């Protein structure tokens, strides 16, 4: 363990960071930083590097929630597929107050308005029993839900709730209007009830809710509970074997822990079914370390931490060892790489414990304050160092090392956000990690701007610093130590943006024989790996809704990172596993290629189009890989869509108000083209294709149920204007005389006409009565009256419309259709009652139906089906079917 004989020169200052700045997009490029004298030691010529495999990351294993039987065979092994639903974490729009006025005001300000009232409302709606249960039962008699007026004695002790509901609805509709006038009735009610109506004290509830909302919002901005990642790879026990284990969370609430045996072939394959443990909380972090050929896996959820032992021999089941419960959420769990069954635990109250399975918990530090300067974050982290009794403790301001044997006395500062490490203002520690497998005294510290490698023998001065330029802070890191003479690889992963960055650094490799003694330096340029969402463009085109689903699923937050090295004779590959929040594990392969410094290959530069990702061009050996990957994707997709079909997205709760149900807008016709329009359009298109022209609309049958015209103006200019004209010219009285006599004559004529028609119909009825029900008869009647004078020949309408527009000339046009007997029958309170419609609703239903009866008959289909969706089922569906028969009949050539 030799210390490098010469370090790179650097200035050393103390105090707070001086350099201003924020995220700089190109800060990591173009700098050597320092050189060591005239020797070419600046660290730019990497002799070996990993090249990315131009293959999108195929999904590997997903949440095997419905585990037995839900697996699908993939060539070479079985692979659990995601079949379960996934509950996405809240999005900003769920929490924020959506208001155009507010948005306008606050667009420039960073402050966001939390929609507190909505969440509180959700609570009351979702848990009415908890919120108002007993009070509701007490007041049951005093609330009236009907529509009718209350009579005298009852009125003194009963409130009619429907009016109040109306007011609330009105208020809801006016939401966002900044001149809201509270309905006085509502104000009165809330004054009256505010103090005693709620089961849970309102102030207390509001406080808790507000706190939770703030927490959720800050989690949305940056969720540090995921730090460390919830994916671990347990490498094969003996070097020859290619069977490792993947440990990951799954299930709808991510509370199942899976240990899955994996065979590393060309693509890693799951072997056998995973060993599964159900835990009592969402798994936030899975940490693993190998001691004496046994893996110890630590699992952290908010209030519980557990440790499992996984024996090195394959085929032996992992055994849970111990669980601890914390009062405050834990923020860190790391497993000792030195001693079996030792872990470090931190809680958000600022306590650090050394947890030994044999001896229990030992508190090392308790300090709610941060170490070097004040920071509000309660996040704490702890990890092991080269000395098994010395632990590092971190908060956002830096790292300290403490000796577990005398934690109060023996400690030293390892890293400080400040001038010592040439930090920027506002820089904070995001993830520290012990790099023991590469070098026993080295440490990785990432901040939102840079990554640092520290040597605990030279505290405070980073031996390597690089601005990583990632868009989101790296919450996950994985170390892949290299053999002597090779580089160490560090993978950094971000959660929100799913970024994945591969860095290589060269440091003295420690070995018992002693290694070279060069200072740490970056090797080669860093490399971006594929993100989960990036593979969407490589997948076959999907149906839009599938595409959307897939996009959502692939775009979920990243939740973990792991990597495995696979040495297969001459070929060396690195498999990078990435866990998404939805519980899918994706994998990508990096094949090692020795770089050729004199003639750099341009294989990586094969892409041409701007913005396009690497082409689907595979190296010589991998058509098979591509094939299996595509196949696996295909199966994953199928299972995913099947799973989603089985669990349709839960529809909106049926909480629509009655007023909304009966708005005029909804009763208006369908927005999309009707069958008729479609047909006409098709016809038009066909004519255009044939380059003909339309002289007249031929398929007249289609036109038969045309839109009813507005009542005919009685010839010439309308009544009002003629009347005005005559009034203007002075002989208004004369006009009035004429008019009244005219209208009398006209009415007489109309009456006569009607009688004649009825006679005709009576004559026809004897023909049709044998096979038409009275209902269809009535509807036919109205149909005919719509279409024009009653004509018996089925071919007749065709001829008629060819002649011109006979519809308008029909003397009966403006008269109302024959009395709507069926509706009437429907609306009788008796029939409504026997359909099970409550009393209060009958009137509204009657109103509705009357509106409907007045409305134009054409667009009836949509409101009918809508209404049946909104569960007033039987009567509506019958009505719509009646309307359908009425429209179909004539076309069948009755």
Partner 1 sequence: SSHEHKLNFKKSKEACLSYIQDAMLQKQWKRAAEFLTSYVESLEKDYSREPIGPSEMIWRIGTEILCHHSDSSMKEFNCFMEQMKTLGVKRYLKVCLEHIYHLLCNGQIDEAYQNLSLAESWRFGEQTAIQDKEMKLIQAYRGLLDYYSWSKQKNILLEHGKCLDGFADLSVEQEMHSCFRKAAVNLKEIIKIPGVWDVFVKCYVDLLEFYGDHNEACQVLNEYAYNSKFPANPNAHVYLYHFLKRQGESKKSLVSALKILHDLVPSHELMIDFNTMLQKSKKRKKRRLGLEVIFAALDYAGWKENVKAWSCLARQVKQIVISEKHLDWIKQEWNSRKDWWPAFHFSRYLAKRNWQENKSLSYEKALVAGIFLGKDCKYFKYVSHQGCKAQVKRFRILKKFVNRHNPVYLRISG
Residues 332-391 that bind partner 1 (CB under 8 A): 337-340, 359, 386-389
Interaction between residue 6 and partner 1 (CB under 8 A): yes
| Tokens representing residue 656 in the block | 């629509």
- For residues 861-880, which are near partner 1 according to CB under 8 A? none
Please say which residue, 600 or 804, places its beta carbon nearer to partner 1. 600
Beta-ladder partners of 233: 246
Q: Are strands 398-403 and 488-494 parallel, antiparallel or unpaired?
A: unpaired
| Tokens representing residue 728 in the block | 């203007």
The answer to whether residues 614 and 52 touch, using CB atoms and an 8 Å cutoff, is yes
Interaction between residue 30 and partner 1 (CB under 8 A): yes
Among 108, 278, 292, 690, binds partner 1 (CB under 8 A): 292
Among 129, 207, 212, 604, binds partner 1 (CB under 8 A): 604
Interaction between residue 512 and partner 1 (CB under 8 A): yes
CA distance 187 to 600: 77
Beta-ladder partners of 319: 309
Beta carbon of residue 517, minimum distance to partner 1 (angstroms, whole number): 10
Q: How many CB atoms lie within 10 A of CB 772?
A: 16
| Tokens representing residue 88 in the block | 């996405």
- For residues 415-444, which are near partner 1 according to CB under 8 A? 420, 436, 439-441
- The runs of H, that is alpha helices, within 459-591 are 544-554
Interaction between residue 528 and partner 1 (CB under 8 A): yes
Among 236, 407, 614, 820, binds partner 1 (CB under 8 A): 614
Query: Rounded to a whole number, what is the largest CA-CA distance in the chain?
Result: 127
CA distance 700 to 807: 13
Among 280, 607, 850, 885, binds partner 1 (CB under 8 A): 607
Interaction between residue 107 and partner 1 (CB under 8 A): no
- For residues 442-471, which are near partner 1 according to CB under 8 A? 457-461, 469
| Tokens representing residue 752 in the block | 């006569």
Interaction between residue 616 and partner 1 (CB under 8 A): no
Nearest to 419 by CA among 371, 456, 460: 460
Please say which residue, 325 or 528, places its beta carbon nearer to partner 1. 528
Interaction between residue 610 and partner 1 (CB under 8 A): yes
Nearest to 700 by CA among 716, 687, 714, 683: 683
Nearest to 659 by CA among 870, 812, 416: 870
Interaction between residue 203 and partner 1 (CB under 8 A): no
By CB under 8 A, which span of 28-36, 180-188, 345-353, 699-707 interacts with partner 1? 28-36
The CB-side HSE value for 441 (13 A sphere, CA atoms) comes to: 16
Beta-ladder partners of 848: none
Among 31, 108, 690, 803, binds partner 1 (CB under 8 A): 31
Please say which residue, 430 or 461, places its beta carbon nearer to partner 1. 461
Please say which residue, 308 or 384, places its beta carbon nearer to partner 1. 384
CA distance 768 to 307: 84
Please say which residue, 226 or 422, places its beta carbon nearer to partner 1. 422
Interaction between residue 278 and partner 1 (CB under 8 A): no
Interaction between residue 322 and partner 1 (CB under 8 A): no
Interaction between residue 605 and partner 1 (CB under 8 A): yes
Please say which residue, 178 or 513, places its beta carbon nearer to partner 1. 513
| Tokens representing residue 499 in the block | 């970024």
Q: How many CB atoms lie within 10 A of CB 498?
A: 22
- For residues 739-778, which are near partner 1 according to CB under 8 A? none
Please say which residue, 134 or 608, places its beta carbon nearer to partner 1. 608
CA distance 212 to 225: 15
Reduced to 3 states (helix: H, G, I; strand: E, B; else coil), residue 475 is: strand
User: DSSP of 373-390, one letter per residue?
Assistant: S-------EEEE-SSTTE
- For residues 485-504, which are near partner 1 according to CB under 8 A? 501
- The runs of H, that is alpha helices, within 564-622 are none
Beta-ladder partners of 296: 289, 309
Interaction between residue 484 and partner 1 (CB under 8 A): no
Interaction between residue 42 and partner 1 (CB under 8 A): yes
What residues contact residue 578 under an 8 Å CB cut-off, 6+ apart? 57, 231, 493, 498, 500, 531, 532, 558, 560, 561, 585, 586, 587, 588
Interaction between residue 409 and partner 1 (CB under 8 A): no
Beta carbon of residue 587, minimum distance to partner 1 (angstroms, whole number): 19
Please say which residue, 12 or 742, places its beta carbon nearer to partner 1. 12
Beta carbon of residue 281, minimum distance to partner 1 (angstroms, whole number): 30
- For residues 563-602, which are near partner 1 according to CB under 8 A? 599-600, 602
Nearest to 549 by CA among 582, 577, 578, 579: 582
Please say which residue, 602 or 793, places its beta carbon nearer to partner 1. 602
| Tokens representing residue 844 in the block | 């509204």
Interaction between residue 36 and partner 1 (CB under 8 A): yes
Q: For residue 49, give the DSSP letter.
A: E
Nearest to 301 by CA among 352, 254, 252: 254
Interaction between residue 44 and partner 1 (CB under 8 A): yes
Phi, psi of 248 (to 5 degrees): -150, 155
Q: For residue 84, give the DSSP letter.
A: S
Q: For residue 621, give the DSSP letter.
A: T
Among 510, 577, 636, 848, binds partner 1 (CB under 8 A): 510
Please say which residue, 453 or 879, places its beta carbon nearer to partner 1. 453
Interaction between residue 3 and partner 1 (CB under 8 A): yes
Interaction between residue 7 and partner 1 (CB under 8 A): yes
Among 527, 591, 726, 880, binds partner 1 (CB under 8 A): 527
Please say which residue, 21 or 708, places its beta carbon nearer to partner 1. 21
Beta-ladder partners of 383: 392
Beta carbon of residue 333, minimum distance to partner 1 (angstroms, whole number): 20
Beta carbon of residue 387, minimum distance to partner 1 (angstroms, whole number): 5
Nearest to 831 by CA among 878, 893, 797: 878
Beta carbon of residue 652, minimum distance to partner 1 (angstroms, whole number): 37
Beta carbon of residue 630, minimum distance to partner 1 (angstroms, whole number): 22
CA distance 433 to 387: 15
Beta carbon of residue 606, minimum distance to partner 1 (angstroms, whole number): 8
Nearest to 535 by CA among 52, 55, 56: 56
Reduced to 3 states (helix: H, G, I; strand: E, B; else coil), residue 472 is: coil
Among 474, 493, 507, 526, binds partner 1 (CB under 8 A): 526
CA distance 280 to 3: 47
Beta carbon of residue 293, minimum distance to partner 1 (angstroms, whole number): 5
Question: In what helix (H) or strand (E) does residue 135 lie, and over which residues does it extend?
Answer: helix 128-139
Beta carbon of residue 339, minimum distance to partner 1 (angstroms, whole number): 5
- For residues 47-106, which are near partner 1 according to CB under 8 A? 51-52
Under rule CB under 8 A, how many of the chain's residues touch partner 1? 78
CA distance 581 to 578: 10
| Tokens representing residue 260 in the block | 């899955």
Interaction between residue 618 and partner 1 (CB under 8 A): no
CA distance 456 to 445: 12
Interaction between residue 611 and partner 1 (CB under 8 A): yes
Q: For residue 627, give the DSSP letter.
A: H
By CB under 8 A, which span of 30-38, 71-79, 586-594, 859-867 interacts with partner 1? 30-38
By CB under 8 A, which span of 27-35, 124-132, 730-738, 827-835 interacts with partner 1? 27-35
Please say which residue, 180 or 607, places its beta carbon nearer to partner 1. 607
Q: How many CB atoms lie within 10 A of CB 438?
A: 23
Beta carbon of residue 51, minimum distance to partner 1 (angstroms, whole number): 8
Interaction between residue 14 and partner 1 (CB under 8 A): yes
- Nearest 5°: the CA angle 597, 601, 604 is 125
Interaction between residue 40 and partner 1 (CB under 8 A): yes
| Tokens representing residue 398 in the block | 């830096």
Beta carbon of residue 440, minimum distance to partner 1 (angstroms, whole number): 4
């Amino acid at each position: 363990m030799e210390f490098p004989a010469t370090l790179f020169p650097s200035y050393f200052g103390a105090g707070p960071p001086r350099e201003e700045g924020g995220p700089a997009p190109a800060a990591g490029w173009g700098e050597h930083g320092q050189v060591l004298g005239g020797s070419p030691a600046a660290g730019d010529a990497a002799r070996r590097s990993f090249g990315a495999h131009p293959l999108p990351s195929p999904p590997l294993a997903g949440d095997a929630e419905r585990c037995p039987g839900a697996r699908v065979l993939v060539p070479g092994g079985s692979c659990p597929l995601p079949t379960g639903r996934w509950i996405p974490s809240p999005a900003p729009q769920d929490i924020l107050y959506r208001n155009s006025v507010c948005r306008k005001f606050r667009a420039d300000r960073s402050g966001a308005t939390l929609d507190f009232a909505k969440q509180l409302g959700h609570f009351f709606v979702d848990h009415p029993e908890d919120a108002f249960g007993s009070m509701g039962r007490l007041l049951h008699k005093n609330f009236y839900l009907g529509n009718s007026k209350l009579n005298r004695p009852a009125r003194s002790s009963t409130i009619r709730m429907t009016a109040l509901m109306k007011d609330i609805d009105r208020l809801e509709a006016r939401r966002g209007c900044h001149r809201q006038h509270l309905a006085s009735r509502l104000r009165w009610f809330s004054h009256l009830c505010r103090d005693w109506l709620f089961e849970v004290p309102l102030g207390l509830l509001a406080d808790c809710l507000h706190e939770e909302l703030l927490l959720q919002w800050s989690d949305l901005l940056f969720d540090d509970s995921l730090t460390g990642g919830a994916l671990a790879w347990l490498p094969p026990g003996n070097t020859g074997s290619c069977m490792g284990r993947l440990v990951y969370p799954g299930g709808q609430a991510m509370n199942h822990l899976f240990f899955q045996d994996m065979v590393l072939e060309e693509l890693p394959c799951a072997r056998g079914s995973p060993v599964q443990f159900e835990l009592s909380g969402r798994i936030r972090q899975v940490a693993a370390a190998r001691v004496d050929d046994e893996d110890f896996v630590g699992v952290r959820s908010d209030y519980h931490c557990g440790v499992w032992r996984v024996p090195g021999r394959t085929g032996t089941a992992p055994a849970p060892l111990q669980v601890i419960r914390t009062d405050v959420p834990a923020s860190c769990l790391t497993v000792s790489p030195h001693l079996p069954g030792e872990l470090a635990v931190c809680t958000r109250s600022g306590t650090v414990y050394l947890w030994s399975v044999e001896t229990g918990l030992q508190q090392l530090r308790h300090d709610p304050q941060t170490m070097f300067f004040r920071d509000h974050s309660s996040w704490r982290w702890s990890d092991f160092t080269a000395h098994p009794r010395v632990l590092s403790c971190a908060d956002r301001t830096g790292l300290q090392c403490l000796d577990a044997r005398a934690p109060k006395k023996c400690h030293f500062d390892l890293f400080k956000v400040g001038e010592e490490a040439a930090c920027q203002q506002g820089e904070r520690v995001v993830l520290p990690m012990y790099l023991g497998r590469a070098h026993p005294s080295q440490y990785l510290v990432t901040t939102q701007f840079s990554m640092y490698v520290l040597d605990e023998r030279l505290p405070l001065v980073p031996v390597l610093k690089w601005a990583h330029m990632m868009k989101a802070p790296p919450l996950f890191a994985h170390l892949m130590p290299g053999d002597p003479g090779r580089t160490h690889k560090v993978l950094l992963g971000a959660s929100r943006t799913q970024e994945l960055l591969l860095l290589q650094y060269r440091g003295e490799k420690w070995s018992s024989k002693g290694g070279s003694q060069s200072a740490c330096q970056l090797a080669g340029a860093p490399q971006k790996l594929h993100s989960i969402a990036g593979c969407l463009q490589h997948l076959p085109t999907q149906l839009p809704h599938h595409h959307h689903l897939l996009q959502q699923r692939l775009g979920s937050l990243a939740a973990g990172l792991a990597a495995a090295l696979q040495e297969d004779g001459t070929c060396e590959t690195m498999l990078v596993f990435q866990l998404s929040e939805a519980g899918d594990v994706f994998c990508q392969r990096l094949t090692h290629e020795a770089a050729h410094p004199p003639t750099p290959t341009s294989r990586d530069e094969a892409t041409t189009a701007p913005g396009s990702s690497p082409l689907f061009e595979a190296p010589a050996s991998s058509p098979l890989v591509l094939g299996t990957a595509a196949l696996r994707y295909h199966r994953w997709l199928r299972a995913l869509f099947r799973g989603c079909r089985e669990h349709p997205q839960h529809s909106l709760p049926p909480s629509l108000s009655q007023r909304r149900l009966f708005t005029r807008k909804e009763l208006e016709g369908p927005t999309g083209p009707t069958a008729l329009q479609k047909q006409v359009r098709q016809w038009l298109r066909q004519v255009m294709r044939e380059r003909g022209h339309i002289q007249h609309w031929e398929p007249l049958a289609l036109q038969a149920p045309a839109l009813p015209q507005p009542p005919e103006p009685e010839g010439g200019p309308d009544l009002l204007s003629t009347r005005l004209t005559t009034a203007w010219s002075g002989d208004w009285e004369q006009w009035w005389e004429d008019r009244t006599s005219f209208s009398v004559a006209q009415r007489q004529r109309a009456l006569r006409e009607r009688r004649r028609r009825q006679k005709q119909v009576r004559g026809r009825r004897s023909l049709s009565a044998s096979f038409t029900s009275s209902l269809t008869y009535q509807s036919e009647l109205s149909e005919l009256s719509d279409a024009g004078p009653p004509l018996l020949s089925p071919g007749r309408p065709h001829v008629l419309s060819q002649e011109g527009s006979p519809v308008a000339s029909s003397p009966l046009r403006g008269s109302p259709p024959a009395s709507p007997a069926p509706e009437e029958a429907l609306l009788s309170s008796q029939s409504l009652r026997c359909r099970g419609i409550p009393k209060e609703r009958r009137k509204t239903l009657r109103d509705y139906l009357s509106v409907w009866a007045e409305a134009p008959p054409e667009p009836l289909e949509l409101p009918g089906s809508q209404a049946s969706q909104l569960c007033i089922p039987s009567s509506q569906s019958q009505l719509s079917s009646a309307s359908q028969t009425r429209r179909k009949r004539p076309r069948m050539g009755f």
